Amino acid sequence: MSEQRPKVLATRKFPADIEARLSSEYRATLNETDRIYPPEELVAAAREHDAVMCCPSERFSREVLEQVAGSIGIIATYSVGYEHIDVPAARDVGIVVTYTPDVLTDATADTAMLFILAAARRGAECDRFVRSGGWDRWHTLLMLGTHVSGKRLGILGMGRIGQALAKRARGFDMPVHYHNRRRLPPEQEQGATFHADPADLLAVSDFLSINCPSSPETVRFLNAERIEMLPEGAFVVNTARGNIVDDEALIAALRSGRVAAAGLDVFDNEPNLHPGYLDLDNVFMLPHVGSATHETRTAMGDTCLANLAAFFAGRPCPQALT
């Protein structure tokens, strides 16, 4: 009886309770060492399973999807982003793709607010200063930062996370502005001001928070030209995707003071981030942990499992992309 259970490949190590459920409900292949599958091994392993539960570290290009079509029926990605999967190609070859929206919202919005505060109050620089032994006395000009209350927050991408960030920013008395592909209904705007043209948003963004998906339209959106549209000494926060920022342009602006400080959780080509960030005191960085709470990571796993259960029961998957 148990051998009739579907076979699921878990490409990365997941929280213990999620792996326990995978092993209980399916014939699961777990990744005990959390190594990243090379593309050719990923194809070979996927062909021996009915489903894959993956992370953004595994890339399912059209070529890969065409090779595993007919073997796996569903890819459940443990992420809200899905640019690592060629979704149109998956649709073409009949593979269902699901993701984990909603459950990351609060944790990521909290991280964006952390970046706003840390950038404004020189969090990274202060931490290094204390640890290095440089703090020998208190004085009135020590590590002066910027007050966030009353400063204008511009949100690029007013989806779930952007809306949650706007709600938090209101608690700090920050006027909120946003740009989105389309204007939200008033009840979802959190009192924010809509700008149809992103250039207009940049002009009023004392703090700019990037919360939009990565797409052909947004890759390298924040380049040198658009940085010049920001108010002098603006702050930049990115908890979305690293490739939305032109690293060379932002690093130059941080060095010159054109941008006062930045808070970055995501990087282009991560974890191999641009080395120019490493010696900048005015950058507060995290290793892509915007959703890294016990509660959120468990909820992400629960969402993947719910999608797998629906697929194998012949029901529509709750968070299907295809």
Is residue 112 within 8 Å of residue 239, measured between CB atoms? Answer: yes
List the one residue out of 94, 42, 56 whose CA is nearest residue 73: 94
Record the tokens describing residue 80, joined without a space: 């809200």
Specify whether 241 is catalytic: yes
Look up 160 and say whether it is catalytic.
Answer: no
Among residues 122, 270, 294, 295, which one is catalytic? 270
Strand 96-98: give its sheet, edge to edge. 27-29, 7-10, 51-54, 74-77, 96-98
Half-sphere exposure of 61 (CA within 13 A, CB side): 4
Q: Which of 177, 179, 288, 297 is catalytic?
A: 288
142 vs 165: CA distance, rounded Å: 30
Catalytic residue among 241, 258, 294, 295: 241
- Based on its alpha-carbon atoms, the radius of gyration of the chain, rounded to whole angstroms, reads 22
> Is 84 part of the annotated catalytic residue set?
no
CA–CA dist 319, 272 (Å, integer): 31
User: What's the full length of the chain, in residues?
Assistant: 322
Q: What are the C-alpha distances in Å from 206 to residues 93, 152, 203, 261?
A: 46, 5, 8, 11
Just list the catalytic residues: 241, 270, 288
